[in-house]
Every structure is written in structure tokens, then in C-alpha cells.
Amino acid sequence: MRHILLALPFALLPLAVAQAASHDHAHDHEHAHEEHGSLGTHEHGVASLNVALDGQTLEIQLESPAMNLVGFEHAATSDADKAKVAAVRKQLEQPQALFALPIEAKCALQESELESPLFGEAKHEHADHDHDHDHGDEHGHSDIDASYRFTCANAEALKTLELGSFFGSFPGTEKLEVQLIGPSGQQGAELTPKNARLSF
């Protein structure tokens, strides 16, 4: 599924390094032990969004600490926690509502994939599963990853992506670090609840 997005981290690595160098470390006091991690460190309040538009194919990949979406990262054992995880999973299964694709672009969801240790068995809506990483670490941090592939019959109308609904649904997410490959090339953006529009 990730044939376009596979190239994204490598294509935008210089951008990611530059962003990391000027990164706001507001949450460092909570996660000082993560300083020695890789480029994709686990930072509460911050999620990454990779977006690629190639012809009529739009791919969106979200990687977020579970804390941003469900409010905790431990295994859901109580009924309340299980209900919260189920509700978040249901929201993530409706990407059209979260990403507000323009109606005139006529985008239809073709494939989706949700992964997290909080979901127990990962749900795959396609046949091939070609990665073997887990989404937790030794510090007890859990991530939630979501990948979507759309076919847009009128891709030329896809000028913006509105993320206001995403931020409204998941108020624990303070910032989305976006990497975009679109008709006008590669770009990086930082979206917040007050600046929630991504332009292609």
C-alpha cells in the first residue's frame, strides 16, 4: 500500500533534520530519556502526517503517540478504557470525516490500515502486510498508526486538506508535522488547531 509513501522519509530527510534542529522541546522534561532516540521520537501532543498525491492516488499516513488520540498509552483493561479505544478506532475508520477532502475531488477510500498495540490484533483491510515493526517501546509508549489510500476521480480539485475536524476529534494533538509530496513538489508544514489547512 505504501508504494508512494515509502520514498517520502528519504526524500524529505534533509527537511526532517532541519525541523529537528529547530524543534520546540516543550515536552523534554517529560521525556528526557528519549533524546537518544531516532528522528521519529515519541513526543506527546505531536503527530506526523505523510501525504502523497500521485495522479489520482492520494495516500495519507498518520503516526501518533496513543496519548494524543485516546488519552493514555497503557493496555486498555477497564471498561472505560476499552470503550475509549473502540471509539477512537471507529473515528479513525472514517478518514473522510477527519481529513475533510473536497467533495468536488470525488475521492473514494480504497484501502485503510490501523495499527496499535492498544487495538490487540491489528486490523488490515488488504492482503499484503509487509512490515514487522511493533508500535510500542521499552518505556511503555504506544503509538497508533493509520494509513489510507484514496482514488480521486477529479484530483485537480484537491487543492487543500482541512484538518480542523482532526484536531477537534483529538484535542490531545497540539501539532501535526506534515510531509507532503504533491503536484508542486515536496514540502513540509506544521499544522495546529489554529492553522489546520494543508495546501497542495
Question: What pLDDT score was predicted for residue 126?
Answer: 40
Q: What is the pLDDT of residues 63-91, one digit of tens each?
A: 999 999 999 999 999 999 999 999 999 99
30 band by pLDDT with thresholds 50, 70 and 90? very low
- Asked whether the predicted pLDDT for residue 24 surpasses 90, the reply is no
Question: What pLDDT score was predicted for residue 5?
Answer: 54
Q: Residue ranges of the domains in the chain? A: 5-20+42-123+139-199
Q: How far apart are CA 48 and CA 45, in angstroms?
A: 10
Q: What is the pLDDT of residues 173-183, one digit of tens each?
A: 999 999 999 98
Q: Which of 117, 4, 8, 96 has the alpha carbon at shortest distance from 53?
A: 4
Reported pTM: 0.74
Of 62-66, 131-135, 144-148, the poorest mean pLDDT is in 131-135
Place of cell 500500500: 1
- Asked whether the predicted pLDDT for residue 119 surpasses 50, the reply is yes
Angle, CA of 183, 16 and 178, to the nearest 5° = 50
Q: Which of 47, 52, 49 has the alpha carbon at shortest distance from 3?
A: 52
Question: What pLDDT score was predicted for residue 4?
Answer: 52
The number of residues making up the chain comes to: 200
Question: What pLDDT score was predicted for residue 184?
Answer: 87
Question: What pLDDT score was predicted for residue 141?
Answer: 74
Q: Which of 118, 107, 97 has the alpha carbon at shortest distance from 151?
A: 107
- Asked whether the predicted pLDDT for residue 27 surpasses 90, the reply is no
